[in-house]
Copies of this chain bind each other. A is one copy, B any other.
Amino acid sequence: MSKTTPPPAEFEAEFINGLKTIFEEKIVFNQVLGLKITSLLPDRVAGRIDMKHQLVGHYSHNRVHGGVISACLDAMGGLACMAAIGARHMDEAPEQRLHRFAKLGTIDLRIDYLRPGISEYFDLHAEVMRLGSRVASTRMEFRGADGKLLSTGAGAYIVS
């Protein structure tokens, strides 16, 4: 990066609110999952989902479906990319930066299921390991209410 403007310590409310609207409402399936952004920093993002009947994957243990985990971690990895891209383009107006979200796409995703997903709610974390001009690599975590690491993820995303 030949950029001379340093990454911002934090984002403007307009950018954060815009990103929340896209992420929590316009991406309809995130709404089905009940996925909420809890923290949005240039270098890491966090989110949360509450456990509910709809998300059950294992009928006898009230365990969250593995697909809920993969869906949430894919979404969080994308959000981390969006934060990193946003931080790189602070010279653009918030609205212009938000348009960049539409161009983001997952190339591939890996999820490791470590422990059964049983909890009242789950905390999700994602960070960008490297943001290139074409591809970004991310790491994600899915934790129980007690902080225990339940699943981890890694993803590659097309950025532009």
Residue A105 at the chain B interface, CB threshold 8 Å = yes
Q: Are A152's CB and B134's CB within 8 A?
A: no
Q: Are B110's CB and A68's CB within 8 A?
A: no
Knowing A28-B54, A74-B67, A156-B156 touch, does A129 contact B112 (C-beta < 8 A)? yes
Q: Which residues of chain B have C-beta atoms less than 8 A from A68's C-beta?
A: 29, 71
Knowing A27-B59, A67-B33 touch, does A154 contact B154 (C-beta < 8 A)? yes
Q: Are A113's CB and B102's CB within 8 A?
A: no
A71 to chain B minimum Cβ distance, whole angstroms, is 2
Count this chain's copies in the assembly: 4
Q: Contacting A130 at CB < 8 Å: which of B22, B26, B114?
A: B114
Q: Contacting A108 at CB < 8 Å: which of B65, B71, B156?
A: B156
- Of residues 25 through 79 on chain A, the ones whose CB sits less than 8 Å from some CB of chain B are 26-30, 32-33, 53-60, 65-68, 70-72, 74-75
Q: Are B110's CB and A66's CB within 8 A?
A: no
Secondary structure dominating the interface of A = mixed
Q: Which residues of chain B have C-beta atoms less than 8 A from A59's C-beta?
A: 22, 26-28
Q: Contacting A29 at CB < 8 Å: which of B56, B137, B156?
A: B56
Report the Cα distance A128→B33, complex, angstroms: 29
8 smallest CB-CB distances across A and B, nearest first, come from A67-B71, A29-B65, A70-B70, A26-B59, A28-B56, A114-B130, A108-B112, A110-B110
